């Protein structure tokens, strides 16, 4: 009787205090994937549209890189650690992640709406300033910078929080496959935008971006109200004394820095994540100017990206399964090695629309493979109770390097007379560095138990 009863008991999965049946797990995945569809639509469209608009305004490559990479990275550098630190320690009726997402989502939508209206607001500001105006182009850039900062400010801050939410509610044995589905949804977004919409930016920039803003704000807020968090252990007790707001901030900052940056192993992981992501940045940042410089139409460019996303879509779930099977660290290193070969080829041969198309598709597929395989990497390596904090610490290093590398790449391109194939050259050098760092991290990972027995080191 007992055996028969046990055989009929439904299978369950757990994540912290949460327990899911098969139906509950499906419902969770549906809501999170719907949220990712909105999140990815924002990520897949706003960046390329911002790049297109700056290229339309004909800003220098240095200014282009400062606005697209350095300025938002600087702003996110300040806010990301604060929000992630507070999120890990927050306890409330809606959990510790969703309250922060409820605040950042409408601000991101507001920033997108402002960017969409820059073609109207810039000339209006120029006219309102009259003789004091720095010119219509500069006035438009000022408007763009304000709304772009607001958008990136909360986007970067919310990234670690959203990852923390997934870490808290998705059972760990399913993380790789979940992120494979996550990646597939993101790729579908990319295919929609690049196949049908990017070729229409010349005439419909404002209406396309306004539509994305409204959809993202509405859909993601809906998800925030539908996904439920479980219970958490109480946060660490506050230290004795009442230091006041400034003293409390400084005490929290010291705790954040001590816990996040004191262990050599985590410093190595941070460096690997930062350098690997950085290797894709040169090509990603200047893809549209690169395409225009060799005479590729935006329609053809969009079709190339749509093909990239279609290939990546087919690979997404198998790669997530392989990440669960072999571990995301090993799969990530294999992807970086492949990307090193692709960028080395592009550096020598991507000189016309045909060869650039090949390099662009290979760049997109290999970088996509990396992001699919590495999606669950931090969730496997960082301490679970301090995930958002450690994710933001990795983001701090990424922001710092983006602030330097983006303008440096722009300056190299300006200096060489707009030879954009050097984006592949720089990407290959960074990928080689990431691969060397990856082997170092893997050695330490194996000492800590490897795929089957890994225990995240404690921090003080």
The answer for residues whose C-beta is within 8 angstroms of residue 453's C-beta and 6 or more apart is: none
pLDDT at 152: 83
pLDDT at 192: 85
3-state DSSP helix/strand/coil percent for the chain, to nearest 5? Answer: 85, 0, 15
Alpha-carbon span 429 to 432, nearest angstrom: 5
Give the Cβ contact number of residue 327 at 10 Å: 22
Domains of the chain: 19-229+258-450 (1.20.1250.20)
Question: In whole angstroms, what separates CA 455 from the centre of its chain?
Answer: 26
pLDDT at 191: 79
pLDDT at 66: 81
The answer to whether the beta carbons of residues 323 and 180 sit under 8 Å apart is: yes
Given a cut of 70, the residues of the chain with pLDDT beneath it are 1-9, 76, 238-248, 460
**pLDDT tens sequence across 217-232:** 999 999 999 999 999 9
The answer for residues whose C-beta is within 8 angstroms of residue 201's C-beta and 6 or more apart is: 49, 52, 208, 298
**223 SS3 class:** helix
pLDDT at 5: 47
**pLDDT tens sequence across 96-115:** 999 999 999 999 999 999 99
Is the pTM value of this prediction over 0.85?
A: no
């Amino acid at each position: 009787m007992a055996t028969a009863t046990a055989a009929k008991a439904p299978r369950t999965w757990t994540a912290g205090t949460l327990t899911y049946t098969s139906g509950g797990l499906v419902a969770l995945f549906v809501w999170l994937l719907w949220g990712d569809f909105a999140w990815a639509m924002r990520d897949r469209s706003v960046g390329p549209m911002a790049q297109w608009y700056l290229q339309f305004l004909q800003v220098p490559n240095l200014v282009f890189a400062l606005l697209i990479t350095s300025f938002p990275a600087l702003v996110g550098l300040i806010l990301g650690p604060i929000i992630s630190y507070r999120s890990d320690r927050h306890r409330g009726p809606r959990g510790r992640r969703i309250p922060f997402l409820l605040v950042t989502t409408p601000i991101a939508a507001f920033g997108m709406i402002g960017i969409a209206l820059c073609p109207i607001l810039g000339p209006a500001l120029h006219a309102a300033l009259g003789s004091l105006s720095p010119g219509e182009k500069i006035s438009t850039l000022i408007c763009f910078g304000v709304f772009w900062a607001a958008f990136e400010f909360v986007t970067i801050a919310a990234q670690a929080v959203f990852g923390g939410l997934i870490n808290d509610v998705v059972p760990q044995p399913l993380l790789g496959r979940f992120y494979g589905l996550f990646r597939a949804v993101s790729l579908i977004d990319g295919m929609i935008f690049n196949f049908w919409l990017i070729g229409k930016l010349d005439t419909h920039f404002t209406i396309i971006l306004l539509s994305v803003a409204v959809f993202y704000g509405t859909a993601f807020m809906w998800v925030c109200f539908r996904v439920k968090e479980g219970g958490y252990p109480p946060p660490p007790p506050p230290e004795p004394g009442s230091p006041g707001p400034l003293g409390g901030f400084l005490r929290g900052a010291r705790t954040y820095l001590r816990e996040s940056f004191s262990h050599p192993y985590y410093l190595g992981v941070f460096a690997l994540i930062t350098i690997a992501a950085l290797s894709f940045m040169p090509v990603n940042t200047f893809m549209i100017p690169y395409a225009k410089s060799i005479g590729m139409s935006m329609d053809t460019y969009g079709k190339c990206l749509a093909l990239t996303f279609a290939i990546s879509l087919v690979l997404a779930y198998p790669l997530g399964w392989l990440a669960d099977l072999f571990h995301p660290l090993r799969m990530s290193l294999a992807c970086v090695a492949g990307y090193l070969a692709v960028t080395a080829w592009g550096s020598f041969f991507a000189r016309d629309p045909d060869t650039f198309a090949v390099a662009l598709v290979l760049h997109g597929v290999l970088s996509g493979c990396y992001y699919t395989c590495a999606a669950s990497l931090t969730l496997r390596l960082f301490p679970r109770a301090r995930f958002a904090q450690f994710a933001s610490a990795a983001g701090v290093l990424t922001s710092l390097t983006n602030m330097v590398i983006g303008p440096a790449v722009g300056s190299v391109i300006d200096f060489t007379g707009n030879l954009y194939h050097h984006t592949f050259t720089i990407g290959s050098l960074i990928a080689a560095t990431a691969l060397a760092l990856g082997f170092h991290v893997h050695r330490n990972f194996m000492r800590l138990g490897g795929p089957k027995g890994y225990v995240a080191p404690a921090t003080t």
